[in-house]
Chains A and B, each alone.
Chain A
Amino acid sequence: MAATQDTIDRIAEVSGAYKYGFVTEIESEKAPKGLNEDIIRFISAKKAEPEWLLDWRLKAYRFWLTMSEPDWAKVGYPPIDYQDAYYYAAPKSKDDAPKSLDEVDPELLRTYEKLGIPLREQEMLAGVAVDAVFDSVSVATTYKKKLEEMGVIFCSISEAVRRYPDLIQKYLGSIVPYSDNFFATLNSAVFTDGSFVYVPKGLRCPMELSTYFRINERDTGQFERTLIIADAGSYVSYLEGCTAPQRDENQLHAAVVELVALDDAEIKYSTVQNWYPGDAEGKGGIYNFVTKRGACRGRNSKISWTQVETGSAVTWKYPSCVLQGDNSVGEFYSVAITNNAQQADTGTKMIHIGKNTRSRIISKGISAGRADQTYRGLVRMMPKAEGARNYTQCDSLLIGDRCGAHTVPYIESRNPTAQVEHEATTSRISDDQLFYCLQRGIPEEDAVALIVNGFCKEVLQTLPMEFAVEAQKLVGISLEGSVG
C-alpha cells in the first residue's frame, strides 16, 4: 500500500495540486483511473521525458478531446468508458501473480503444450512470478551486445528517448502524426513503452529482431509505441508478437507502429497476434485498435507487412505503406482468422506518391463460428505516381453457415498511367475436401487445419521460417471446434 500512496503523492506533486480527489481504494500499483492532463504529466515525469515530448503528448490529448470514436468499421462492441481505465501502471508487483503453472487456467496450458512452448516461456506468458534469472535473459544480453557492436540500436522507446533524443524528435509522429486518428491520438497522449530500432546506413541486419528478446522489458502496457528507422541501404526484419495466447488485464489495446525506410532500405515487419479473444461469447476479449504505417521515404525502398491475426475479440487494424520514394515497394500479406464471436475489420492502405511505385496486397480471411470479418483496403494513386502499379488479391474462406466475410476495397486513381488490379474470391471448405482428408485417416480438426493452412500458404511462406512453423500450428488451434 505504501507504493500506492507513493504513486498518488507523485501525481499530486507533478500536477502541483491534488485536484481530483483521488480516493485511496487502489489495490495495485497504478495511477488512479481516468484520463486528464495530470495523468499525462505524471506519465511523462515518471519517464523523465524532455519538455517537447510532454508538450507533444498534451497536444495530442487536447486534440483527442475534440475527436469522436470512429464508427465506420464493421465491428460492434459496447461503448468504452475512457475514464474507467488505468493509463499508468508501475512495473508489476509479483505478489498478485500466480505462484506456479498450477494456478493457471488449464485451457491456456493445453494450448501452450500444443504449440510446443518450453516450460520457462509458458511461465512467462502466463505471468507466473518467476525469478528474474531467465535462460532467455542471458541470451538477450549477448544478442543485444552483438547488435550494438554493429551499430544497430534496439531498445525500449523510453530508453531511446533518453539516449537518442535527436532521432526520436526527428521521427516520432512523423509517419503517424498525433492528430491521425482517434486511437493513434490517444496513444500519442498516453503511450507507455514499446520498441525502438535504428539500423545504420548500408547494414544488412543479420538477425531477426524480435520482441521476444526484450522479454525483460516486455511490460509495455496497452498503449505500445514502436518506431523503426532503416537508414539508407539497410535491411531489417522485425518480428512482433507471439503465437501463444497472451492474456492481459487491460481490455483496450491501442498501439502505434511507425516505420521509415530511407533510400534503398528495406523493412520486413512480421506480426503474429494472438491476444485473448474472450470466451465463446467474446466476453473478456481484447479490443485491438492498432495504427501501423510505414513510409517508404527513399528511392527504391521497400516495406513489407506480414500479419497473422488470430486473437482479440475485436480487431481494427490497417498496416499501411506511404510510397513516397520513386520505385519504392509496399507489400501487405495477411491472414486473419476469426472464430466464435470474434470480429475483425482489417486490411491495408497503399498510398502511391512516387513514380513507378509498386504495391502488392495478399489478404486471406478465414471466418468460422459466428464471427464476422471485413477486409477494408485503400489503394490510392496520386497525380505524380507515374507508372505506379498495384495488385490486390483478397480471398475469404467460410467455415460453417453462421459466419460472415466482407470485402470493401477503395480504389482511387488520379494518374492515368497507374494500374490497379483487384481480385477477390469467397469460398467454403467443401464437404468433398473434408471427406477426402478423412478417407486418408486425417481426423476432422487436423483436416480443417491442413486445408486452411493450404489456403493461407502464400502468406505464411513470407514469414521467417521458425515463425511460419508456429503460425501453421496456430491456424489449426484457432479453428478448433469450428467444424462438426
Chain B
Amino acid sequence: MALLDIKDLHATVEDDTKAILKGISLTIKPGEVHAVMGPNGAGKSTLSNVIAGRPGYTVTGGSITYDGQDLLAMEADERARAGVFLAFQYPVEIPGVATATFLKTALNARRKANGEPEIEALDFMKMMKANAKRLGVPDDMLKRPVNVGFSGGEKKRAEVLQMAMLEPRLCVLDETDSGLDIDALKVVADGVNALRTPERGMLVITHYQRLLNYIVPDVVHVLAGGRIVKSGDRTLAEELEAKGYGAFTEATAA
C-alpha cells in the first residue's frame, strides 16, 4: 500500500480564488524518497503546507490518502500524531520554552493519542542525548528556548533532531537546504539519511539540486505552475541543473 497518495490535488490560498496547485498527483511508497523541485512560485511550499494541514489554504479538489486514511479530513495535530512530519523552511521561535521541554511535550502528545503512558524522564533524556549526539546538536542547545537565537544551521539541525525524536512515517522537508552553508548542509543531510528506513517515506522539497547530491532521491518531480510537469529518476535533477527550469516551464506553457 502507498504511504502517501496524492490524487489530482487542487488548492488555493484562502480568500483568493487564484489556484496555486492545479492537479497534482504523486505516490510515495514506504522506504522511498521523492524530491520535488521547482522555481519560485511553483507551489512547492503550498504543497508541503497542504499536506501538513496549515490553516490558510483551501483544497478545491482532489484527495490525499495517507496510510489508508483521508488526510484532508484530519486536523493538523492529528496528522502529526499519525506520523506526518514537516521540517519547516523557517522554523518558528518559541521564547521561554526549552527545546527539550518542547520535544517532550510533542512526544507525550503522540504517546497519549496512542494510549501509551508518558515517557519516563530518564528514558527521554537518554533518547534525546543519543539523537543529539548523532546529529551534532550540542547539549546547551537542548536547554535553550526553541529556535530562539539559533543560527540558520542550528535551526535546521534542530528540525532534524525533532524528526529523529518523533519517528514519523512520512517526512516532508520544505527547502531544508535554504540558508545553509555546505558544511551545515552535509550535517543535516547525514542526519536525514540516517533516518531513511524501509518503512519511512520522504518528500524533499528544494529549489536547488545541491541538496540531492547528499540526500539521493528515488524519484524526482519537477513542479511548475502548480503542476508536476515531469517525473523521473535522480538524473532528472542533474538535467534540471544543466538546463534550468526554463526548459520545463516553457514546455507546460505550450
Contacts and interface: CB of A to CB of B under 8 A. Distances in A.
Interface of A: 430-433, 435-444, 446-447, 450-451, 453-458
B77 A444 contact: yes
A456 B85 CA distance: 28
B13 interface: no
A450 B146 CA distance: 11
Nearest to A364: B96
B96 A442 contact: no
B94 interface: yes
B102 interface: yes
Interface in B103-154: 105-106, 109-110, 113, 145
B80 interface: yes
A438 B105 CA distance: 11
B109 A454 contact: no
B80 A439 contact: yes
Contacts of A454: 94-97, 145
A435 B105 CA distance: 15
Contacts of B101: 450
A439 B102 CA distance: 12
Contacts of A440: 80, 102, 105-106, 109, 162, 166
A439 B86 contact: yes
B179 interface: no
Nearest to A440: B106
6 nearest A-B pairs in the assembled complex, by CB-CB distance: A454-B96, A454-B97, A457-B96, A441-B80, A440-B106, A436-B92
B94 A441 contact: no
A361 B92 CA distance: 28
A337 to B, nearest CB: 15
Contacts of B80: 438-441
Size band of the interface chain B makes with A: 20 to 34
A442 B106 contact: yes
A458 B145 CA distance: 12
Interface in B50-92: 52-56, 75-77, 80-81, 85-86, 88, 91-92
Contact of B106 (A441, A444, A455, A458): A441
Contacts of B76: 435, 438-439
A439 B172 CA distance: 11
Given A431-B55, A441-B81, A456 B96 contact: yes
A439 B52 contact: yes
Given A439-B52, A440-B162, A455 B96 contact: yes
B55 A436 contact: no
B77, B85, B88 interface centre (most CB from chain A within 10 Å): B77
24 contacts: A430-B92, A433-B94, A435-B54, A435-B55, A435-B76, A436-B88, A438-B53, A438-B75, A438-B76, A438-B80, A439-B53, A440-B105, A440-B109, A441-B77, A441-B113, A446-B105, A446-B109, A450-B97, A450-B101, A450-B105, A453-B97, A454-B96, A455-B95, A457-B96
Interface in B7-58: 52-56
Contacts of A446: 105, 109
Given A438-B53, A450-B105, A454-B95, 7 more contacts: A431-B56, A436-B92, A438-B75, A441-B109, A441-B166, A450-B94, A457-B96
